[in-house]
Amino acid sequence: MSATFRNLTFVVLLGLLYLPVQSQTIPDDNKHCLKCHSSQSFTIFNKLTEHNQRRLMNPLYILDTVQIKTGVHHSFSCTDCHSYEYETYPHNGDLKLEQLMTCIDCHGGDETYASYQFERIEDEFKKSVHFKISDGQFTCSKCHNQHYYKATARNSDNIKEIVKFSNDMCFSCHNNMIKYQLVSENQNPQLVQVHDWLPNQALHFEHVRCIECHTIVADSLNVSHNIRKKEDALKLCVECHSANSMLQASLYKYKNIQARSEDGTFNSIISNSSYVIGAYQNPILNLLSLIIFIATLVGISIHLIFRIIKK
């Protein structure tokens, strides 16, 4: 058997092994839906003109197949959440008015995901301003895109990744006039102007989640879903920049806080790219800083005394 033939055989076998993985990633019955919903346009037969017509797809209905493959629901069929009547094309226009599934519809009472505490999250969410001002129309999917969602905060050790993932959810509406008006009649607030009181604003947006200041922290939940009113948002710097930093009970609740406890406080200060001023206080370092400060004052005093005596 020649080397060329062996190489070709290997490539073919590798391809056959790869095909089932692809089919498991996105179910075959979804490909019919994604033929239109992953494209900028679609074709429809006009019964009046008896011709096919190409039309632009609503941007909100265009799906990213790459993100779908990496999402937690990648193995679901579209009709697991959407009506089976969508299998008929063209779709019945009334289907847009149907009530969509929520997270709790599937995960409520499911022992497999008991650690996620979906029922508790639902209770907290119903206390939030998002739920109260929307007359119940604001659902999980407004923040958590059910097509792409990944449990990033639970599985990442990278603070920046967690912060970006969380803040992108907020910015997807609060920095997007089109989506914002789907849930509110008010003018979309200008985030930079609203937060003009915040020093080093860009750094805060990059290193701290919006929910640190805009939610009421629940100790027993990994992520708080009780969004405060804007008037009640936290504006006290000391809440984060102190030894009892609120961030320890929210942002650093995952593996990040475990890494800090394993590495030790001093190592975390030296190596941690998300070091928060005032939050990492060590008694030994505090005492050493005080001794150096006092010694400096004593040195300056002695120097002044000798200069006065000499003069």
User: Half-sphere exposure (CA, 13 Å, Cβ side) for 284?
Assistant: 2
Tell me, what's the pLDDT at 39? 94
**Which tens digit of pLDDT belongs to each residue from 231-275?**
899 888 888 887 777 777 777 766 555 555 555 544 444 444 555
Please give the sequence-ordered ranges of beta strands (E in DSSP) within 62-114, or none if there are none. none
**Which tens digit of pLDDT belongs to each residue from 46-89?**
888 889 999 999 988 999 999 999 999 999 999 988 989 998 88
CA 270 to CA 10: how far, in whole Å? 49
Tell me, what's the pLDDT at 219? 72
CA 231 to CA 233: how far, in whole Å? 6
The closest of 174, 172, 243, 237 to 208, measured between CA atoms, is 237
CA 224 to CA 217: how far, in whole Å? 5
Position 188, amino acid: N
| Local confidence band at 298 (pLDDT 50, 70, 90 cut-offs) | very high
Please state the rounded mean pLDDT for residues 280-289.
Answer: 70
Tell me, what's the pLDDT at 265? 47
- Note whether 140 and 102 are within 8 A (CB): yes
Please state the rounded mean pLDDT for residues 191-201.
Answer: 88
Tell me, what's the pLDDT at 278? 58
**Which tens digit of pLDDT belongs to each residue from 97-114?**
888 888 888 888 888 888
**Which tens digit of pLDDT belongs to each residue from 3-62?**
544 544 443 444 444 334 344 468 888 988 999 999 999 999 988 888 999 999 998 899
Which token pair is 9? 């055989």
